[in-house]
Amino acid sequence: MKIIPNTICEGIGETPLEVRIEPWMQEARQWFCREISPEELLSEQMLPSADTIIQCRALWNAAPALDVTLHPNGLAVVNTDSLVPASAERSAEFRKSIMKLMMDTITNLLPQLHKIPGWSKSNPAIKIWRATVYRTPQDICTAALLPYEWDSIHTAVATISSIEDNNAATVWSPEMLAVIRNFDYGNDDLMRTRIILQLRNCIRTAVSSIIQGIHMAASASTIQRLDNKIAHAIEQYINICRDNPDICHAWHHSKTARLYNPTPFRNKKDSSAYFF
């Protein structure tokens, strides 16, 4: 287990740690393919990160059944069948450290995954990592005001995507929102990337402000400040789309754009509303 900074030795007749946690390793491999990426899409350079994530997941699940101790120079697993499982406090501290390492490694791996041809069509990308305009665990949890841990991810994605979708028809346009969610940053020209990033940041500002307003017991002045931030973000978004028709053509050809650019009324003789 490369992520544990201690040499692990078992006594005579004791079960090696690798064997003890193998059931959790199998689950962790399946979880990785289901939630992060199918393993067949990974390059050689990505395998060490994938291994770390899988090992962290397995250890996090196995920790309550192991005896874990914290030392000034790192973590130690007391690997003996004769000891009772770790105390709740020691297990919680160990799991917290493992969870942070796992989440940080996922955050560092995702930008590489987004560049893989075909990964955007995988179930993890569709369900989680391209379901909103947020691309990493850190950004997702921060926006949703939830703890930085895996159990927060699906709840956070559901909350954020719901807010984004609810405002798509009247502001972003469903078509333009899909473009922003699935944009391959770094794989396109700089001008287009800059504009899409600006639009993404407008959506993020509005979404985070809405979530803050929902969760905070805010004063009237704070609510007004959040409302102003939302209004400013929407105004910026509309102006950016208007000023960049070539890049934002999905918005310009949507029903949403007609709300901001209504068709002028024409007094036609064959119309039932014709007047002299």
Instruction: Report whether pLDDT(209) > 70.
Output: yes
| Final residue of a structural domain among 89, 122, 155 | 122
Distance from CA of residue 222 to its chain's centroid?
27
Mean pLDDT for 262-270 is 53
pLDDT value of position 7: 43
Domain membership of residue 143 (yes or no) is yes
Instruction: Report whether pLDDT(228) > 70.
Output: yes
Q: Are residues 53 and 171 in the same domain?
A: no
| Final residue of a structural domain among 103, 122, 141 | 122
Domain membership of residue 270 (yes or no) is no
Query: Which residue has better confidence, 189 or 58?
Result: 58
In three state form, how does the secondary structure of 170-203 look?
A: HHHCHHHHHHHHCCCCCCCCHHHHHHHHHHHHHH
| Final residue of a structural domain among 122, 154, 184 | 122
pLDDT value of position 275: 46
Give yes or no for a contact between 79 and 14, defined as CB atoms under 8 angstroms apart.
yes
Q: Are residues 134 and 251 in the same domain?
A: yes
Q: Are residues 91 and 143 in the same domain?
A: no
Instruction: Report whether pLDDT(59) > 60.
Output: yes
Q: Which of 67, 105, 109 is nearest to 88 (CA)?
A: 67
Instruction: Report whether pLDDT(276) > 60.
Output: no
Q: Are residues 243 and 148 in the same domain?
A: yes
Instruction: Report whether pLDDT(186) > 80.
Output: no
pLDDT value of position 273: 46
Domain membership of residue 274 (yes or no) is no
Give yes or no for a contact between 221 and 234, defined as CB atoms under 8 angstroms apart.
no
Instruction: Report whether pLDDT(72) > 60.
Output: no
In DSSP terms, 97 is beta-bridged to: none
Residue written as token pair 């003890």: 20
Q: Are residues 223 and 158 in the same domain?
A: yes
Domain membership of residue 26 (yes or no) is yes
Q: Are residues 63 and 111 in the same domain?
A: yes
Q: Are residues 163 and 217 in the same domain?
A: yes
Query: Which residue has better confidence, 59 or 173?
Result: 173
Domain membership of residue 275 (yes or no) is no
Task: Report helix, strand and coil shares of the chain as percent, to nearest 5.
Answer: 65, 5, 30
Q: Is 124 exposed, middle or buried (0-12, 13-18, 19+ CB in 10 A)?
A: buried
Domain membership of residue 241 (yes or no) is yes
Instruction: Report whether pLDDT(5) > 60.
Output: no
Query: Which residue has better confidence, 21 or 192?
Result: 192
Q: What is the pTM of this model?
A: 0.80
Q: Which of 167, 154, 197, 204 is nearest to 179 (CA)?
A: 197
Domain membership of residue 273 (yes or no) is no
pLDDT value of position 265: 46
Q: Are residues 118 and 153 in the same domain?
A: no
Residue 91: pLDDT band with limits 50, 70, 90? low
Q: Are residues 142 and 62 in the same domain?
A: no
Q: Are residues 254 and 136 in the same domain?
A: yes
pLDDT value of position 183: 92
Where would I find the H helices in 216-247? 220-243
Query: How many structural domains comprise the chain?
Result: 2
Residue written as token pair 């929102």: 177
Q: Are residues 153 and 85 in the same domain?
A: no
Give yes or no for a contact between 110 and 135, defined as CB atoms under 8 angstroms apart.
yes
| Structural domain for 94, as ranges | 1-122
Q: Are residues 110 and 229 in the same domain?
A: no
Q: Which of 249, 248, 238 is nearest to 203 (CA)?
A: 238
In three state form, how does the secondary structure of 121-188 look?
A: HCHHHHHHHCCCCCCCHHHHHHHHCCCCCHHHHHHHHHHHHHHHHHCHHHHHCHHHHHHHHCCCCCCC
Domain membership of residue 272 (yes or no) is no
